[in-house]
A and B are shown apart, each in its own frame.
Chain A
Amino acid sequence: MRKSKWILVIMLIMFVLLVACGNDSNGESEDTIYSIEDFSTDSSTEGEAIDGGTLNYGLVTETPFEGTLNYNFYSGSFDNEIIKWFDESLLSVDKNHNYTQDGAATFKVSEDHHTFTFTIRDNVNWHDGEPVKAEDWAYAIEVIGHPDYDGPRYDSSFRNIAGMEEYHNGDTNSISGLEVVDEKTLKITYIEGTPSLLAGGVWPYALPKHIFEDIPVADMSASDAVRKNPIGFGPFKVESIVPGESVSLTANGDYWQGAPKLDGVTVKVVNPQTIVQALKSGDVDVVDSFPSEQYADVEASLTNVEFLGKVDMSYSYIGFKLGTWDKEAQEVKPDPDAKMADVNLRRAMWYAVDNDAVAKQFYNGLRWNANTLIPPSHPDYHDDSIEAPTFDPEKAKQILDEAGYVDTNNDGMRENPDGEELVINFASMSSGDIAEPLTNYYVQSWEQVGLNVQLLDGRLIEFNSFYDRIGQNGDDDPAVDIYQGAWSVATDVDPSGLYGRQAIFNFSRYASEENDRLLKEGLSEEAFDSEYRQEVYSEWQQLMVDEIPVFPTLFRSILVPINKRVVNYSIGPDFMGFHEIGVTHGEPFKAE
């Protein structure tokens, strides 16, 4: 008797505790809606930076970083976050990701836009004291184009260099389009002179030849020069590496823009589950990116931290399968009889979903309704004047009625114009906690306007299978009618890699002459005039809203918390002041 009483008491106590916990986390801020416009990309902390100090930079990930610490070989994004502290691009960029003349090298473009002449500044030196030479730059391009190269960087921008194909196939030993004019001058000749060259089309990273020349190309990415003693010419030098966990860097007094204010930077992996605590306790000053779904819950309690924000170079979308991939011809093969071939059906489906509500309910406004396929991360090209369909279920029903999609057998669901049952199969990927409710929301929204949309296989699909089935290898699964995906976009605005006729990543398999024409115009000689280029891409964005091979759902934001002791920090794409970053106090501020 006595024992059971005790157990009862303990259970009661635990129950009360649980209830208390539950209340605590739900109570506040459920309805606060944020807007990315209220965030700045630059830190606002005023104050004099102290001499020295160490910045703690967190990489928010559950897995160790790969440790391929060289721009020419890395593929993981976390490696990139480490490399940026000790190496940098020779070319600087502006807010639209176009090259400018403020970087470690300047450039001139020939009249015909085919030849670029780059001049590296005299005071740009590697960490070991050797000057960064034109041959180092040429060497990077030679290594990436080499048949034995094992990284992911060899792409059409390399094939565009004159003589590259022959070299890559092993027919020649040198690249005819590369000319080292003198120690600091490099000339590159391109086969096609397109505006893309000025926005990410040039390989801007050098590879120290005096270190790598004795290593066979196939072994470079695994070599100590990449994994254990990586070097660059950036503001900090790598001091030591704990594989997969952390990297310590110290200031490079010889940095070409001037010695850094900080003594050093420590980069370390932080688990997403503990990131808030790590910020509160000052364990990390800055992280690469903060899980934005946690923002609303913690914003008020992180008193020692300022949040910076910017528009992510990405968008989520719903895609419609309009054809297949022709492996012979290596191009898309639109099928005029595809289930989703009627543009009215697609438009109605766009009208049926309330992306604005999704953004507010699931993301507290930190994602928001998207109107076009060029995100606002490219401010000059994104056209926000374009009016895309927004939530209007009545309009959706009306469009469907007019297009002949009516319920003929009284089961509450519409049939297609031929009177056959219409079942639309929806492929959606499992990712994070929101994927499932979001997918269900879409399915219900379409059901509301009378469309029978079924989740493919009745469940969310794992990442690898998802991309296999929507056709990353060209083997499109005919069972997929529509799918939900997301793209991160390149620095260059040109969308041919995602929507061109020859693009395997054009998963909707849409093609039209008008689309071909506009994509070509965007890369033409005239498009070097940026106003003309903007016009072309506005027209293209409008075309995509009219034809709807896919429709964008949400634009996204990136949030970066920084400790209030940090000054001169920025997450803008054009930021090149890593050496200016400083701290006002020796110890990070802690949350109250």
Chain B
Amino acid sequence: MWKFIVRRLVITFPQLILLSVLIFLLAQAMPGDALTGLVDPNIDPETIEEQREKLGLNKPWYEKYIDWVGGVVQGDFGQSFRYKMPVTDLIEERIVNTFWLSVTALIFTYIIAVPLGMISGRYNDTILDSSIAGYTYIGFATPLFIFALVLLWIFGFHFQWFPTGGSVAPGLEPGTLEYVMSRIQHLILPALSIAIIQTVSTVQYLRSEIVDTKQKDFVITARAKGASESRVYNRHILRNSLLPIAAFFGYEITMLITGTIFVEQIFSFPGMGQLFIESVLQRDFSVVNAVVLLFGAAAILGALLSDIILSMVDPRIRIK
């Protein structure tokens, strides 16, 4: 097993290098650059040209790539043109927000998904199961950006139970209890809107797995032994049905840092998803490169994590 992990990590390196070249070339191939947005009669074209020269935007791509990689190896991802600050600081600022939002969303997802999946699987083909299935179908069909808006309208503006935007109320001292409470309060509504939509696939997986498992021979054995119905479901069937969820978990870890662009925009919540889209639209190359590299690395590690979890949960799966 350890051998496997080390080997996978070794393969990761060439993957990352290939990824970095690809990202870099694709970013270069985009028309325009960070200074295109400055087409404005109040700003002198000569100034723009001078800035291009200073930022090295006029160099050939391989020189730019070498400069960039040289920095990345030393942990320096360069400066964001738009934010005029080091990319690492910028990502740090955003990743914290995204991380907490995703963790909350993940917790909500499991709180909703596991019981619903169990009920649905245990009482399959009853009215209860059908209504849960109904919810999952509606969930599949509902676009997140509409659903988030509706939730915001109902609970944010109409009932005013939750704040309507941002990650924290303005003017609070970081570190105080009030600050932490405000952050939590700001997280609930966006996290809930992600969770309610995201959870539907997990519910369905769990349901079909339980329906499958409960017809297996060992379940009959368990019943024959005289195990109570709840014990049969909670111990024997559930544990054997968690496989797909475990497999998913690694990928959901990846999601912790990639963020959700729609929800972030609607709730004016500065996170990674927004940073990514924004930097692509504004041609803030150093940010695009750093963010995509980070996402790529997270995806590779997430896949690895999934494999490891799988082998731990189900010893039948042998990793070679």
A504 x B171 contact (CB < 8 A): no
- Tell me which of B93, B170, B270, B274 has the highest count of chain A C-beta atoms within 10 A of its own C-beta: B170
B244 to chain A, nearest CB (A): 28
Question: B151-194 vs A: 1/0 string, CB under 8 Å?
Answer: 01100110010001111101111000000000000000000000
B270 interface neighbour in A240, A243, A472, A498, Cβ under 8 Å? A243
Residues of B near A239 (CB, < 8 A) are 171
Q: Given A152-B51, A244-B93, A490-B41, do A271 and B167 touch, yes or no (CB 8 Å)?
A: no
Residues of A near B173 (CB, < 8 A) are 240
Question: A236-247 vs B: 1/0 string, CB under 8 Å?
Answer: 000110111111
Residues of A near B83 (CB, < 8 A) are 66-68
- Answer yes or no: B124 CB below 8 A from chain A CBs: no
Q: Given A63-B278, A76-B82, A150-B84, do A269 and B170 touch, yes or no (CB 8 Å)?
A: no
Q: Given A155-B47, A281-B160, do A64 and B170 touch, yes or no (CB 8 Å)?
A: no
- Answer yes or no: A216 CB below 8 A from chain B CBs: no
- Answer yes or no: A441 CB below 8 A from chain B CBs: no
Residues of A near B94 (CB, < 8 A) are 244
User: How many angstroms from the CA of A3 to the CA of B133 in the assembled complex?
Assistant: 13
- Answer yes or no: B266 CB below 8 A from chain A CBs: yes
Q: Which residue of B lies closest to A61 (CB)?
A: B268
Residues of A near B45 (CB, < 8 A) are 503-505
- Answer yes or no: A371 CB below 8 A from chain B CBs: no
User: How many angstroms from the CA of A155 to the CA of B50 in the assembled complex?
Assistant: 11
Q: Given A66-B84, A73-B84, do A467 and B165 touch, yes or no (CB 8 Å)?
A: no
B172 to chain A, nearest CB (A): 8
B168 interface neighbour in A154, A242, A266, A504, Cβ under 8 Å? A242
- Answer yes or no: A274 CB below 8 A from chain B CBs: yes
A414 to chain B, nearest CB (A): 33
Can you offer 27 A-B residue contacts whose CB atoms are under 8 A?
A: A62-B265, A63-B278, A64-B268, A64-B270, A67-B83, A150-B84, A152-B47, A152-B48, A155-B47, A222-B79, A227-B85, A242-B168, A242-B170, A245-B165, A245-B269, A267-B170, A271-B267, A274-B149, A274-B152, A274-B153, A274-B165, A277-B157, A464-B32, A487-B41, A488-B42, A498-B41, A504-B45
Residues of A near B86 (CB, < 8 A) are 222
Question: A400-429 vs B: 1/0 string, CB under 8 Å?
Answer: 000000000000000000000000000000
Q: Which residue of B lies closest to A65 (CB)?
A: B270
Residues of B near A73 (CB, < 8 A) are 84
B82 x A154 contact (CB < 8 A): no
Size bracket of the A interface: 35 or more
Question: A244-273 vs B: 1/0 string, CB under 8 Å?
Answer: 111110000000000000000011111101
A171 to chain B, nearest CB (A): 16
Q: Given A242-B166, A246-B166, A465-B31, do A150 and B54 touch, yes or no (CB 8 Å)?
A: yes
- Answer yes or no: B207 CB below 8 A from chain A CBs: no
Size bracket of the B interface: 35 or more
Residues of A near B54 (CB, < 8 A) are 150
Tell me which residues from 260 to 308 in chain A have a Cβ below 8 Å from any Cβ of chain B: 266-271, 273-274, 277-278, 280-281, 283
User: How many angstroms from the CA of A73 to the CA of B166 in the assembled complex?
Assistant: 25
B156 to chain A, nearest CB (A): 8
Q: Which residue of A lies closest to B269 (CB)?
A: A245
B82 x A246 contact (CB < 8 A): no
Q: A239-B171, A268-B268, A273-B266 are in contact. List 4 more A-B contacts (CB 8 A).
A: A63-B274, A240-B170, A271-B165, A490-B41
- Answer yes or no: B40 CB below 8 A from chain A CBs: yes
Q: Which residues of B contact A (CB under 8 A)?
A: 30-33, 36-48, 50-51, 54, 79, 82-86, 93-94, 130, 149, 152-153, 156-157, 160, 164-168, 170-173, 265-270, 274, 278, 283
B41 x A463 contact (CB < 8 A): no
A474 to chain B, nearest CB (A): 9
- Answer yes or no: A468 CB below 8 A from chain B CBs: yes
A274 interface neighbour in B32, B164, B171, Cβ under 8 Å? B164
B44 x A154 contact (CB < 8 A): yes
B84 x A490 contact (CB < 8 A): no
A274 x B166 contact (CB < 8 A): no
- Answer yes or no: A462 CB below 8 A from chain B CBs: yes
- Answer yes or no: A497 CB below 8 A from chain B CBs: yes
A505 x B36 contact (CB < 8 A): no
Residues of A near B85 (CB, < 8 A) are 221-222, 227
B31 x A489 contact (CB < 8 A): no
User: How many angstroms from the CA of A146 to the CA of B50 in the assembled complex?
Assistant: 13
- Answer yes or no: A156 CB below 8 A from chain B CBs: yes
User: How many angstroms from the CA of A277 to the CA of B164 in the assembled complex?
Assistant: 10
Residues of A near B31 (CB, < 8 A) are 462, 464-465, 468
Residues of A near B32 (CB, < 8 A) are 463-465, 467-468
B84 x A221 contact (CB < 8 A): yes
B268 x A248 contact (CB < 8 A): no
Chain A interface SS verdict (over half): loop
B270 x A490 contact (CB < 8 A): no
User: How many angstroms from the CA of A239 to the CA of B174 in the assembled complex?
Assistant: 13
- Answer yes or no: A117 CB below 8 A from chain B CBs: no
- Answer yes or no: A100 CB below 8 A from chain B CBs: no
- Answer yes or no: A390 CB below 8 A from chain B CBs: no
User: How many angstroms from the CA of A34 to the CA of B152 in the assembled complex?
Assistant: 31
User: How many angstroms from the CA of A3 to the CA of B44 in the assembled complex?
Assistant: 69
B36 interface neighbour in A269, A270, A281, A467, Cβ under 8 Å? A467
Residues of B near A62 (CB, < 8 A) are 265
Residues of B near A244 (CB, < 8 A) are 93-94, 270
B153 interface neighbour in A154, A246, A277, Cβ under 8 Å? A277
- Answer yes or no: A75 CB below 8 A from chain B CBs: yes
B186 to chain A, nearest CB (A): 10
A464 x B36 contact (CB < 8 A): yes
Q: Which residue of B lies closest to A250 (CB)?
A: B171
Nearest first, the 9 closest Cβ-Cβ pairs linking A and B are: A464-B32, A155-B44, A248-B171, A244-B270, A246-B170, A465-B31, A64-B270, A221-B84, A277-B157
User: How many angstroms from the CA of A266 to the CA of B94 in the assembled complex?
Assistant: 21
- Tell me which of B51, B166, B168, B173 has the highest count of chain A C-beta atoms within 10 A of its own C-beta: B166
Q: Given A222-B86, A248-B170, do A488 and B41 touch, yes or no (CB 8 Å)?
A: yes
B36 x A245 contact (CB < 8 A): no
Q: Given A271-B266, A505-B45, do A488 and B170 touch, yes or no (CB 8 Å)?
A: no
User: How many angstroms from the CA of A246 to the CA of B168 in the assembled complex?
Assistant: 9
A551 to chain B, nearest CB (A): 18
A273 interface neighbour in B149, B167, B168, Cβ under 8 Å? B149
B41 interface neighbour in A270, A464, A472, A489, Cβ under 8 Å? A489
Residues of B near A497 (CB, < 8 A) are 41, 44
B87 to chain A, nearest CB (A): 11
- Tell me which of A62, A66, A67, A156 has the highest count of chain B C-beta atoms within 10 A of its own C-beta: A62
User: How many angstroms from the CA of A278 to the CA of B153 in the assembled complex?
Assistant: 10
A155 x B266 contact (CB < 8 A): no
User: How many angstroms from the CA of A67 to the CA of B173 in the assembled complex?
Assistant: 18
A559 to chain B, nearest CB (A): 21
Tell me which residues from 71 to 96 in chain A have a Cβ below 8 Å from any Cβ of chain B: 73, 75-76
Residues of A near B157 (CB, < 8 A) are 274, 277-278, 280-281, 283
Residues of B near A155 (CB, < 8 A) are 42-44, 46-47
A464 x B283 contact (CB < 8 A): yes
A432 to chain B, nearest CB (A): 14
